[in-house]
Structure 1
C-alpha cells in the first residue's frame, strides 16, 4: 500500500517502465534496483535481487544499454564483422561463439561488410559503431581500418590481417594439410586439383601455399587450380569444369562447402559417398561431414578451443604474444 492506501500491485502498469518504477514495485531504493539488474558482481542481498527481478519481469522492464554505458563506459555489445553469412564454416562456429559472448554478459551484433568498397564507404561517411569490442572475420578490413571503424583499440583479428597493435587468433593449418596430403599419397594419389577460395584473403593465400608445398613434398602433380568463393555454388561450378576433363586422382577444396558442391556434381564417382577412382578432401571439418550425405574427409580445428581462445582475448586472460594459434588435424572419411 502507498501513502494514499492504494495497493501498488493493483496500480496500472506504466507503458514505458523505468528503473524507478521497478524500485518502487520491489520496495527498494533506485540504487539497489540498479545493482540488482547489473551484469556486474555488485553487493545486493539475494532476497532483494529476487524481488527486483520479479518486479522487472512483471513490468516488462528492459535496461537501457546506452544509458548504462554513460556511467559504465560499456554498451555490453560485441560486433562480429563478416563478409557474408553464407559461409558454412562461419555458421558452424557462430552458435558456440554467441553463447560464449552472452555468458560474458554481452550481446552480439553482426555487421556484414560484403566488399572492400563497403568498408571504404563506411570510412568516407563517418559510420562508426559504439561497441565494447569487435571480432573481425571479414578479410576486407585490416587491423588499422577496424580500429578506425570502431574508434577503439579493442579489435580481435581472426582474418590474418593483424598488426603489432592488435590481438589475433588463427588456426595453424600446416599440420592438418600435411596430414591430408600424406594420407592421399599413401592411397596412391599422383595427381590433384585444387579448388580455392577468395585470393584476396591473406589466410587463403597462406593455405594455398601450404597445399602446394605439401603436394610437392609428396611428389603429387597439381594438374588444375580452380577458384571459388568458399560457397557450395562455386564448388558445384568447379565440379562442372572437372567433369569435362579426365579426373585427377584427388580433389582438394579449401572449404567443406565447396567440397560438398563438387561431391554433388560428381556423385557418380562417389557411390554411397565412397571414393573410387578419385578422392575428395575438404577443409573446415563441418558438422555436416559427420552425416551420410556428405562424408567428406576434411581438415579442421577444435571449435570449442577456438571459441575459448577468443573469449580469453576479450576478457584479458590472454595477453599474447600474438597471434594465438590453434592446431588443425585431418579427419578421414569415406571420400578420402
Structure 2
C-alpha cells in the first residue's frame, strides 16, 4: 500500500485561500508582515493537514537557520538558572531556537575543532571561560559571536557587567557599619571576569581601610561555600565575609545560622554576588551585588536582531551593577 504523500506548503496555501508566499511567511519567523486573519487561516490549515515546516529547506532559501548557540561551562550554579531561563525564553519568543553547548575545559574546545563538530548557527553567545572569540568564530563559521566572558577581541561585540559601582557600594556599606577586616570567598581563578572582580574588591577594601584577612577559593557553588565556611574561623575572625556568588554565601549562611538570629549578623556581616531571585525569600535574605538581568538579556537580543556591520571594531558594552542591601549585611 502506497504511503500518503506528506502535505506541502502549496497544500496549506490552497486550503487557507492564500498565496504560497503568504503561507510561507505565516509559518516562518519572517519579519515581512502577514495579517492576523491570514496567519490564523494558515496555522489552522497546517494543523488540519498535519504540515510541518522543513527547517532545512527554509534555511537554504533565507540563508538563516534561526538557531543560536549558547556556550557555557556548565549549568548548575543558581545564578545560571536565573539568567538562562530568561535568556532562552526571550530567544524563543523571537522565533529562534537554542543549541546549548557545554564547554568545561580548553581541551573540550580543541576537541570540537579537531573533530569538526560545528553547527550551522546564525549567532553564538559565549559565557564559557574556556572559549575565545576567534576560536568560536572558527567553530561555528560565523562572525556574529557575542562575548560575555571577558575574552573578546576587536572583531567581537561584547557585553560585560560594570562591577566597580556595585562592589564599591557594598564595601562602603560595610565600612560605614564599622567593618575593619574582611574575608573574600572567590570562584574560578580561570575566569577573566572573576579576576577583574577580585581586583575590584581589593581596591575597594584598600580605599575604605578594610584589611583583607584571607582569600578562599570556591567554584561559585553552594557546596563550595558550605565546605569553606569552617576555614573562616581559622586565625583572626573577620567582621565581614564577601562572596563572589550568592550560592557560596548561602552555603556559608547555613553553616553559621546560629550567628544570624533572625537572619541578622552577630559574628560577621555577609555579602553575596549575583542578586539571585531566591534572596527575596525569607530563608536567604543576603545582601548582594547584581545587575538588571532583563536589561542584560535585552542587550544580547538587540545584537542578535540588529547585527553590527562587519569589518568594524567593537568596544565592550557595560551593564551597570548596584548594591542591594538585605538583613545579613
Match of 1:91 in 2: 81
What SS is found at the alignment partner of 1:216? helix
Cα pair distance change 1:128/1:206, threshold 3 Å: same
Aligned partner (choices 48, 52, 76) of residue 42 of structure 2: 52
Match of 1:222 in 2: 212
Asked if residue 194 in structure 1 is aligned to residue 184 in structure 2, the reply is: yes
Asked if residue 334 in structure 1 is aligned to residue 327 in structure 2, the reply is: yes
| Cα drift, residue 48 of structure 1 | 3.6
Cα pair distance change 1:44/1:92, threshold 3 Å: closer
Task: Report if aligned partners of 1:36, 1:42 keep a CA contact under 8 Å in 2.
Answer: no
Cα pair distance change 1:195/1:46, threshold 3 Å: closer
Task: Report if aligned partners of 1:312, 1:318 keep a CA contact under 8 Å in 2.
Answer: no
Distance (whole Å) between structure 2 residues aligned to residue 75 and residue 161 of structure 1: 26
The worse-fitting range, judged by mean Cα deviation, of 164-173 and 306-315 is 306-315
Asked if residue 112 in structure 1 is aligned to residue 105 in structure 2, the reply is: no
Match of 2:174 in 1: 184
Distance (whole Å) between structure 2 residues aligned to residue 43 and residue 266 of structure 1: 59
Max radius of gyration: which structure?
A: 1
Match of 1:237 in 2: 227
| Cα drift, residue 218 of structure 1 | 1.1
Task: Report if aligned partners of 2:155, 2:314 keep a CA contact under 8 Å in 1.
Answer: no
Distance (whole Å) between structure 1 residues aligned to residue 270 and residue 177 of structure 2: 12
Aligned residues: 324
Match of 1:310 in 2: 300
Match of 1:65 in 2: 55
Distance (whole Å) between structure 1 residues aligned to residue 5 and residue 256 of structure 2: 60
Cα pair distance change 1:185/1:118, threshold 3 Å: same
| Cα drift, residue 42 of structure 1 | 3.2
Distance (whole Å) between structure 2 residues aligned to residue 91 and residue 253 of structure 1: 19
Distance (whole Å) between structure 1 residues aligned to residue 90 and residue 113 of structure 2: 30
Cα pair distance change 1:306/1:318, threshold 3 Å: farther
Per-residue Cα deviation, 1:198-233 (whole angstroms, up to 9, x for no partner): 010000000000001111111111111111111111
The worse-fitting range, judged by mean Cα deviation, of 298-307 and 107-116 is 107-116
Distance (whole Å) between structure 2 residues aligned to residue 317 and residue 164 of structure 1: 15
What SS is found at the alignment partner of 1:41? coil
Q: Normalising to structure 2: TM-score of the pair?
A: 0.92
CA RMSD of aligned residues (A): 2.0
Distance (whole Å) between structure 2 residues aligned to residue 290 and residue 47 of structure 1: 43
Distance (whole Å) between structure 2 residues aligned to residue 302 and residue 48 of structure 1: 38
Task: Report if aligned partners of 1:284, 1:301 keep a CA contact under 8 Å in 2.
Answer: yes
Aligned partner (choices 205, 213, 216) of residue 203 of structure 2: 213
Aligned partner (choices 138, 148, 152) of residue 128 of structure 2: 138
| Cα drift, residue 61 of structure 1 | 2.6
| Cα drift, residue 120 of structure 1 | 1.2
| Cα drift, residue 270 of structure 1 | 1.2
Per-residue Cα deviation, 1:114-169 (whole angstroms, up to 9, x for no partner): 22221111111111111110111111101111111111111100001000000000
Distance (whole Å) between structure 2 residues aligned to residue 15 and residue 232 of structure 1: 55
Distance (whole Å) between structure 1 residues aligned to residue 260 and residue 287 of structure 2: 13
- What residue ranges of structure 1 are gaps of 5+ in the alignment? 1-12
Distance (whole Å) between structure 2 residues aligned to residue 103 and residue 260 of structure 1: 33
Distance (whole Å) between structure 2 residues aligned to residue 104 and residue 49 of structure 1: 16
What SS is found at the alignment partner of 2:270? strand
What SS is found at the alignment partner of 1:166? coil
Asked if residue 272 in structure 1 is aligned to residue 245 in structure 2, the reply is: no
Distance (whole Å) between structure 1 residues aligned to residue 265 and residue 308 of structure 2: 43
Match of 1:76 in 2: 66
Task: Report if aligned partners of 1:22, 1:33 keep a CA contact under 8 Å in 2.
Answer: yes
- What residue ranges of structure 2 are gaps of 5+ in the alignment? none
What SS is found at the alignment partner of 2:290? strand
What SS is found at the alignment partner of 1:140? coil
